[in-house]
Amino acid sequence: MSYQSDGVVRAEEDAQQATIRECPTTTSVYTGRHIPEQRAISCLTSDTRDRRIFVFHGLGGAGKTQLALRTVELTREHWSDVIYIDATSVETLTSTLSTFAIARGIGKTHQDTIRWLTGYSKRWLLVLDNADDPSIDLRSYLPAGVYCRIIITTRNRDLTFLKQGPSSKYNVSGMEPEEALDLLFTMTRSDFESLTNQERETATALTQDLGLLALAIVQAGAYICRTSCGFAQYREMYAMKPKEILEKYSGKPMELGSYEKTVYGTWVMSYSMLTKRAQRMLWLLAYLQRDRITEDIFRRAATSSKNFQASFPPRETDCEALVNLKEYLRNFLLDGKWNLDGFLTVMTEISSYSLVLYDRTNNAYTLHILVQDWIRSVIPHSVERALAESSYLLAMSITRDGNAQDYAYCLSLQLHVDRLLSHKHYPSPGTAITFGYIMHHSGQYEQAEALLSYALKSYSEDLGDDAEATLVLKSDLAETYARRGSFEHAETLETQVLEARTRLLGEKDPKTILAKVELAGTYSNKCLYGRAEELLVSALADCKQFLGFNHYHTLKAMRYLANTYSRRSLYTQAETIQVQVLEDTKRLFGEEHPRTLAAMDSLALTRSRLGLHERAETLLVQVLEARKRVLGNEHPDTFTAMNNLAITYVRQGLHKQAETLQVQALEASKRVLGDEHPDTLTATSNLACIHFHQGRYEQAEPLFKLAVQAMKRVLGLHHNSTIPSMKWLAETYLRLGAGRKQ
């Protein structure tokens, strides 16, 4: 029979110790966690003659104590003595060690126990539980000796440096999904076999909502068990008021042992020990995408904060948020330059309590989903101001029309913008423009349109239609309309911009010339090639005269003119211009800038039409690989590259390769852009062509019909995409027989 004296487990009975109590055991609802249990056992039970220290570290409420106690239970026969110590304070440490010394008759102080254990010739185990206080020098309480085995549980990540032995630390965070579900069913006394598939799926989703955190699942399960509400009901209530619902656990529907505490309560002490600067950092992270927090965001925002001005008169809350954010970011500047050490000091402080983790693979900090929820509840100012500060943080960090690195950074913010908008927060009109810019370049055109339209309404009403900021915004929105295939809306705005620019600045001003180029591009998209060419030839001459041959506006005019020539089947003229555009764009922006890739894509498509298929394929493979790398697999420009490469494969008779690629492009385009986006319709028609070329007319017919009907509705009967698809459909009917014609 084993005993504990104020935390001391004895392998032999000591009848003289009248106050001895039983050793803590795992809670009755403990659910096995195989991986961390086996790692600890493997480290601690090794026969090697050296000190072994295993550290369970991680977020409060993750189940570190339960894992330590379970490890004791599974290895009890290995130890002559097990000493369990509540390591929350110096007092509990010294008291328990002193009690052990008295019980064994080896002295009266904690130092006596440490000396005795160091020289003890039998295997023993010391458990230091909840060693969270960074002010305690835990090393002074660690015996040595070749038979020494120690388990430490802590939220303080710095204590992992005390580990000794192979694989001697484990970050306790979320449970494995199956283990989490088992724990929930145990807590709710649910019989797996008696549950419907819907109930099982809802229960699984609930454990994910709770971040697979053990204590949160225990609390949720206790509430469900006590109130007899269903998994779906609890999940609905939790979604509306997560903190209030999770904290409603009270009482003991069953014996919970050391689980008798609330999950948010486990983090209060850690938070209270943080400096004000660290707490304010958490406030900024509370509304961002929890697993995409990078140093780059803060570096870019801090270095631009001094010169950042709201482009639209801010609301009172926005003004307060902007002032406070700028003041806070100054903490990370030294002589006006980025102070990486200052930033790392704050993040290390937060990480030391396991409130954030660092993901080395992705070079990003991560917050547990429940920690992020909880942080929102402790922010001392309004939700509106907190959201505004996080929004301005992103807005400050953006450099428009920068290099390839700036562009890649812009794409990385999409999830942060999504997260902020998910809180029903519409930012200030100026910040909405920046968010629209991010969403546009991420290929999220519908969201970009909504943001830019919202901003334009405010700019037009408050600043006027002729204000410079309003005209720039109209151009941005027109570009988004064009990418959505809404060419009529794009033309309307671009016409307004050109008229205003001409009236206010004159015909030869660079801004007026750019407005001509952009309107001409829309004319070309609408198959109004004569009007497009006339404007572009005029604009290109002005660009060369007033801006020079290497200005981006000049290159843009050349690219649009070449595209117009290509659409008119003037492929030789188009190629000549496109070769020059590609060379100049590479020199100005680099090999993998999206503008360079766009120039390469256009040249490749023209060469394919010229019959230079191998040269076209080489370029298109480069474009596709680069876009996947730079933009990601789900970006519309990546789909365009897939479409164009598939077309080139078809022209080479490589139908299998073409079909595989085209199916991927079509599915992705439907998913991201929608069924009736012009790019989706083009991909549909292309796939039908591939079936046609392989003699699969039955499969080609419905795809051609679908594409033609939608193109007539979306693009018009005489559009350059509609007419070829109609011809292909007619040819398909001929192959199938006249009776199949609609």
Give the mean pLDDT of 672-701. 89
pLDDT in tens, 211-238: 888 778 887 887 888 778 889 988 888 8
SS3 for 136?
coil
Inform me whether the pLDDT recorded for 526 exceeds 80. Answer: yes
pLDDT in tens, 118-136: 888 889 899 998 888 888 8
Give the mean pLDDT of 84-110. 84
Class of the CATH domain delimited by 674-742: mainly alpha
Nearest CA among 586, 587, 588, 666 for reference residue 619: 586
Answer yes or no: are the C-beta atoms of 13 and 4 closer than 8 Å: no
Report which listed range, 32-41, 403-412, 536-545, is most confident: 536-545
Distances (CA, A) of 384 to 189, 195, 391: 41, 42, 10
Helix 613-630 to helix 636-651 angle, to the nearest 10 degrees? 160
Residue indicated by tokens 């000796």: 145
The whole-number pLDDT of residue 465 equals 95
Please say whether the dihedral angle defined by the alpha carbons of residues 373, 379, 384 and 388, taken in this order, is positive or negative. negative
Nearest CA among 294, 267, 295 for reference residue 279: 267
Nearest CA among 97, 47, 50, 44 for reference residue 68: 44
Inform me whether the pLDDT recorded for 432 exceeds 80. Answer: yes
The whole-number pLDDT of residue 24 equals 77
Measured from the Cβ of residue 16, the count of other Cβ atoms closer than 10 Å reads: 8
Rounded percentage of the chain residues whose pLDDT exceeds 90? 48
Measured from the Cβ of residue 549, the count of other Cβ atoms closer than 10 Å reads: 11
Inform me whether the pLDDT recorded for 10 exceeds 50. Answer: no
Residue 741 tokens, joined: 């014609």
Cβ contacts of 161 within 8 Å, gap of 6 or more: none
User: At 29, which amino acid appears?
Assistant: V
Give the mean pLDDT of 31-56. 90
What is d(CA 660, CA 454) in angstroms, rounded to the nearest whole number? 40
Cβ contacts of 307 within 8 Å, gap of 6 or more: none
pLDDT in tens, 174-199: 778 888 888 888 888 888 788 888 98
Burial class (CB in 10 A: 0-12, 13-18, 19+), 15: exposed
pLDDT band at 266 (very low <50, low <70, confident <90, very high): low
The whole-number pLDDT of residue 740 equals 56
pLDDT band at 324 (very low <50, low <70, confident <90, very high): very high
Residue 297 tokens, joined: 């965001």
The whole-number pLDDT of residue 2 equals 42
What is d(CA 458, CA 613) in angstroms, rounded to the nearest whole number? 50
What is d(CA 591, CA 597) in angstroms, rounded to the nearest whole number? 8
Cβ contacts of 183 within 8 Å, gap of 6 or more: 29, 31, 175, 214, 217, 218, 221
pLDDT in tens, 703-740: 989 989 988 888 888 777 888 889 988 989 888 885 45
The whole-number pLDDT of residue 642 equals 92
Measured from the Cβ of residue 665, the count of other Cβ atoms closer than 10 Å reads: 25
- Fold classification of 3-172 (topology level): Rossmann fold (3.40.50)
Task: Produce one character per residue of 346-363: b if its CB has 16 or more CB atoms within 10 Å, e if not.
Answer: bbebbbbbbbbbeeeeee
Answer yes or no: are the C-beta atoms of 145 and 113 closer than 8 Å: no
The whole-number pLDDT of residue 15 equals 32
Answer yes or no: are the C-beta atoms of 146 and 51 closer than 8 Å: yes
Distances (CA, A) of 688 to 204, 639, 641, 708: 41, 17, 18, 11
pLDDT band at 500 (very low <50, low <70, confident <90, very high): very high
Answer yes or no: are the C-beta atoms of 265 and 301 closer than 8 Å: no
Cβ contacts of 682 within 8 Å, gap of 6 or more: 643, 707, 721
Inform me whether the pLDDT recorded for 257 exceeds 60. Answer: no
User: At 282, which amino acid appears?
Assistant: L
**Between vectors from CA 284 to CA 446 and to CA 243, what angle results, nearest 5°?**
90
The domain locations on the chain are: 3-172, 177-267, 674-742
Inform me whether the pLDDT recorded for 249 exceeds 80. Answer: no
Give the mean pLDDT of 657-667. 92
- Long-range CB contacts (within 8 A, 24+) of 32-37: 32/70, 32/179, 33/63, 33/67, 33/70, 33/175, 33/176, 33/179, 34/176, 34/179, 35/176, 36/67, 36/170, 36/172, 37/67, 37/70, 37/71, 37/74
Inform me whether the pLDDT recorded for 18 exceeds 50. Answer: no
- Between 533 and 738, name the one with better pLDDT: 533
Inform me whether the pLDDT recorded for 14 exceeds 50. Answer: no
Indicate the helix (H) or strand (E) that contains 641. Answer: helix 636-651
Nearest CA among 239, 258, 302 for reference residue 130: 258
Give the mean pLDDT of 462-483. 95
Q: Taking all residues of the chain, what is their mean pLDDT, rounded to a whole number?
A: 87
What is d(CA 444, CA 417) in angstroms, rounded to the nearest whole number? 11
Confidence (pTM): 0.76
Strand partners, 164: 53
Answer yes or no: are the C-beta atoms of 670 and 641 closer than 8 Å: no
Residue 411 tokens, joined: 């794409």
Residue 437 tokens, joined: 């810019």
Cβ contacts of 63 within 8 Å, gap of 6 or more: 33, 172, 175, 214, 215
Q: Which CATH architecture group holds 177-267? A: Orthogonal Bundle (1.10)
